[in-house]
Structure 1
């Protein structure tokens, strides 16, 4: 079963909700004021998606949370490429394909990894067949039995931080600027200010699309995990994200990260990142989960 939110500006309660196995919550063209929170995969998941300030057209970001078993979940963020036609359509196709494949696999007790990869391939094929220039980037985390595996395409990114602030996972943006940072040719502030930061070299809707599948990481009790579109990563420094993820619950971290990002989008200040864009994030943490 799938529940879809779309085209509404909404507030949400901070109470944890439950999803049954094979059920998903999907966010399409939403403009949320607060995160929605779920108990899932042994922890809490907080989701927030919003249009950039003063934007009246569609939010090209989309997200989904899929309950894939008693101790399993899949977290998905898709970002329609703003410089291409029909980015919202591409993000929607990606979410639909992935949630359908994952729910089917979960119901049958089949491999989530295979379902994720098949869902990505089908979405890429569908977007190419549109022949309208649509494209999207994608970041996914599969959480299963206390372990997380990342998948990503483009500049939507995944970050995992330990309770003492150690960065345990940071995906590399598939872009010239992202690769330059990885090689040590650009510092973080230089990358944030770079005129070509918006360019991506890998995206859904391309014949050359490829999926970067990361190694499995154990998720410890005090770890914080973030899956986010570039609307988040372009408006906060990594030290700031680190600080929010290593302290507090999934709900509080999501609210604080989104709050800072939206504030900076509205006002450009010297020394602070500023890039107005649609924003979507999912935070997972076992910190603050209710005792069973």
Structure 2
């Protein structure tokens, strides 16, 4: 198994996988679960890599059918987690170049596949988010308050951001599964946040839409910030799976949590 300095990834799993790592400047928890569908292979991929004192977190949600979606998400992980030269330290420009490389490689598959991508670049008490598609990045305070959220690049995501739809309405909207932006399809639009300051006990969360399609933000923030719960991602995954099996949207679910 690779170390965090070499890059750690969960992908193409048929059962829920998770791991937790403690660093000098924080803790990482990652969980990825395939949709509760018979013989499902996870098309999400999520990973982390440590470069000196910089942490790169990346989550991708592959689309385009079974093998096609897997391959698209795999390309994202290769570009952003694995294919760095020894002693190479990413900067913002290099990460953006890698995202464009992944976009072009997915296009070259000529299979109509695609992938979302959400990236967090963490350096001590600062973070910057990059996103394409409807996978999301968040900062929550330890008191469950939302401090930052990337915008989901979908009709319902923009409608919620504009106040046209409530979050509950977006979850059941007929266009909830549509995307307006994806790696592998032109024109590509990469959204970039400002550099954001992290306060003590802030939580960074990256999530695929298996979360936002099934659990309200208020509810998963509650689970995320329960300090007595040492396995918050498992608690969220269990709640999402219950919703999927009842009356929700069965989908792969991936979560990356970082906190200090």
**What TM-score bracket applies, with the shorter chain setting the length?**
over 0.9
Q: How many residues align?
A: 260
- TM-score if structure 1 supplies the norm length? 0.83
* Cα shift at 1:83: 6.1
Deviations 1:19-63 (A, max 9, x none): 453x21011211444531012361111111111113313211111
* Cα shift at 1:249: 7.8
SS at match of 2:106: helix
Match of 2:109 in 1: 130
Assess, with a 3 A threshold, how the Cα gap between structure 1 residues 134 and 249 changes in structure 2: closer, same or farther: farther
Corresponding residue to 2:210 among 220, 231, 254: 231
In structure 2, what is the Cα distance between the partners aligned to 1:238 and 1:40?
27
Match of 1:58 in 2: 41
Assess, with a 3 A threshold, how the Cα gap between structure 1 residues 248 and 32 changes in structure 2: closer, same or farther: farther
Structure 2, gaps ≥5 residues long: none
The answer to whether the Cα contact below 8 Å between 2:14 and 2:40 also exists between their aligned partners in 1 is no
Corresponding residue to 2:28 among 4, 23, 45: 45
Deviations 1:125-165 (A, max 9, x none): 11111111010111111111221111110000011110122
Q: How does 1:144-163 map to 2 (within 5 A)?
A: 144-163=123-142
The answer to whether the Cα contact below 8 Å between 2:54 and 2:121 also exists between their aligned partners in 1 is yes
Assess, with a 3 A threshold, how the Cα gap between structure 1 residues 147 and 32 changes in structure 2: closer, same or farther: farther
Corresponding residue to 2:55 among 73, 80, 83: 73
Corresponding residue to 1:168 among 130, 134, 147: 147
Greater shift in the superposed pair: 150-159 or 54-63: 54-63
- TM-score if structure 2 supplies the norm length? 0.93
Match of 2:249 in 1: 275
Match of 2:171 in 1: 192
Determine if the alignment matches structure 1 residue 243 to structure 2 residue 225: no
Assess, with a 3 A threshold, how the Cα gap between structure 1 residues 216 and 45 changes in structure 2: closer, same or farther: same
The answer to whether the Cα contact below 8 Å between 1:27 and 1:64 also exists between their aligned partners in 2 is yes
The answer to whether the Cα contact below 8 Å between 1:147 and 1:218 also exists between their aligned partners in 2 is yes
The answer to whether the Cα contact below 8 Å between 2:181 and 2:188 also exists between their aligned partners in 1 is yes
Q: Which runs of 4+ in 1 moved over 6 A?
A: none
The answer to whether the Cα contact below 8 Å between 2:151 and 2:157 also exists between their aligned partners in 1 is yes
The answer to whether the Cα contact below 8 Å between 1:202 and 1:210 also exists between their aligned partners in 2 is yes
In structure 2, what is the Cα distance between the partners aligned to 1:72 and 1:244?
27
In structure 1, what is the Cα distance between the partners aligned to 2:66 and 2:189?
19
Structure 1, gaps ≥5 residues long: 4-18, 269-273, 287-292
